[in-house]
Amino acid sequence: MEFRKIIRNGVEYRFDPLTGEQCRINPDRARRIKQSGDGVALSEIVARTRKTCPFCPERVKEETPVFPGEICPEGRMKLGETLIFPNLNPFGENNAVGVIARAHFLDLDEFSPGMLQDNLLACKDYILSVHRRDKEAVWPVWIWNYMPPSAGSIIHPHVQILLEREPLPFQAKLLQRSQEYSKRNRRNYWGKLLEQERKLGERFIYVNNSLSVLASFAPRGFNEIQFIFNERSSLIELGEPQIADFADCLIKAFRGYKKLGIGSFNLLSFSGPVDDRLDYYRLNAKLISRPYPGGIYTNDSGPFEKLCDTWVIDTLPEMVAEQLKPF
């Protein structure tokens, strides 16, 4: 396994050890002049959107759709504060929304471990009930877009769940490369990655009974951290202890993000299929920060990301690890 990087013109070109994809890091870019507008107060946006929010408890039953009876006899799946219903504007198969909390807005340090555990457990139930009805739907994705700069259109905290017939192209690539690595080296890529990163220490952040947390060597997003589970290859294999450990890591990461001045993120799971346990793969997820919500901001995705599959980053993974370790 190689953590390959070259430096040209003060820019670090790094290559993902599994996919070979390139990112370019120049931490000095974080200090460049940004002629974006002054922020509109967050509290103003929160107060304004609360009045008509379709996910708030007083409107959610009137304004959101229900599942057919064979998926959920009650129409919407409920566990604790989580409420799951179909996405009115889907971007994939079996695309549901999972509201996380009754509160219209929660700051990054206001989520409780119980909220996230309930959400993950309910999403797992949703995936299982869809799969029972449709055996071809096997590829789950759990996505959390927090605040509008993340491409989330609704402020009220919610996740998206999909269960598709084929893996996303990037997911297929992860699986293919993991399988090739395993054949070539007679061991699991993810296990080896964790072993190497733990030994090096400079990007390794945290480990508990179920998963490890590290700053990705070649990130696709700012302040990117990666959650890698022990053994399990799919979301569906997570039992209550693993879900509690994952929720705990997320809560800690959000607190760290808040301390770094972050106000928006994307979180996405990279899961194997629900009907097979892959010995060459490990369930993992990535968390990246997005621009702070407010007024006219400088986006963190530009032409290289949108059109060239090249990730221009202004935070060094080693710095991310150092800043998040205390949490």
Of the pair 76, 131, the CB lying nearest Zn ion is at 76
Of the pair 64, 242, the CB lying nearest Zn ion is at 64
Contact flag: residue 146 with Zn ion (CB under 5 A): no
Query: Do 16 and 217 meet the contact criterion of CB atoms below 8 Å apart?
Result: yes
- 291-321 core/surface letters (b: 16 or more CB in 10 A; e: else): bebbeebeebbeeebeeeeebbbbbbbeebb
Looking up tokens 């060239």 gives 308
Structure tokens at 247: 């929720």
Of the pair 56, 319, the CB lying nearest Zn ion is at 56
Min dist. Cβ of residue 55 to Zn ion (A)? 5
Of the pair 41, 296, the CB lying nearest Zn ion is at 41
Min dist. Cβ of residue 290 to Zn ion (A)? 20
Longest dimension (CA), the chain: 61
- Ramachandran angles phi, psi of 50, nearest 5°: -60, -35
| Only segment of 45-53, 62-70, 224-232, 290-298 that touches Zn ion (CB under 5 A) | 45-53
Min dist. Cβ of residue 121 to Zn ion (A)? 22
Contact flag: residue 287 with Zn ion (CB under 5 A): no
Structure tokens at 134: 């449709």
Of the pair 53, 316, the CB lying nearest Zn ion is at 53
The CB-nearest residue to Zn ion is: 53
Of the pair 44, 70, the CB lying nearest Zn ion is at 44
Q: Which of residues 290-319 bind Zn ion (CB under 5 A)?
A: none
Contact flag: residue 127 with Zn ion (CB under 5 A): no
Min dist. Cβ of residue 63 to Zn ion (A)? 10
Min dist. Cβ of residue 317 to Zn ion (A)? 35
Choose among 216, 186, 204: nearest CA to 279. 186
3-state secondary structure of 110: coil
How many residues in the chain? 327
| Only segment of 15-23, 29-37, 47-55, 158-166 that touches Zn ion (CB under 5 A) | 47-55
Of the pair 104, 286, the CB lying nearest Zn ion is at 104
Whole-angstrom Cα distance, residue 260 to residue 109?
Answer: 12
Whole-angstrom Cα distance, residue 37 to residue 29?
Answer: 18
Nearest 5 degrees, angle CA 80-CA 95-CA 173? 115
Whole-angstrom Cα distance, residue 208 to residue 113?
Answer: 15
Taking CB under 5 A as the rule, which mask of x and - marks residues 49-68 in contact with Zn ion? ----x-xx------------
Whole-angstrom Cα distance, residue 84 to residue 78?
Answer: 6
Neighbours of 32 (CB within 10 A): 9
Contact flag: residue 265 with Zn ion (CB under 5 A): no
Of the pair 156, 232, the CB lying nearest Zn ion is at 156
Of the pair 102, 220, the CB lying nearest Zn ion is at 102
- Chain-centroid distance, C-alpha 28: 26
Taking CB under 5 A as the rule, which mask of x and - marks residues 150-179 in contact with Zn ion? ------x-----------------------
Total residues at interface with Zn ion (CB under 5 A): 5
Query: Do 283 and 229 meet the contact criterion of CB atoms below 8 Å apart?
Result: yes
What is the contact surface with Zn ion in residues (CB under 5 A)? 53, 55-56, 104, 156
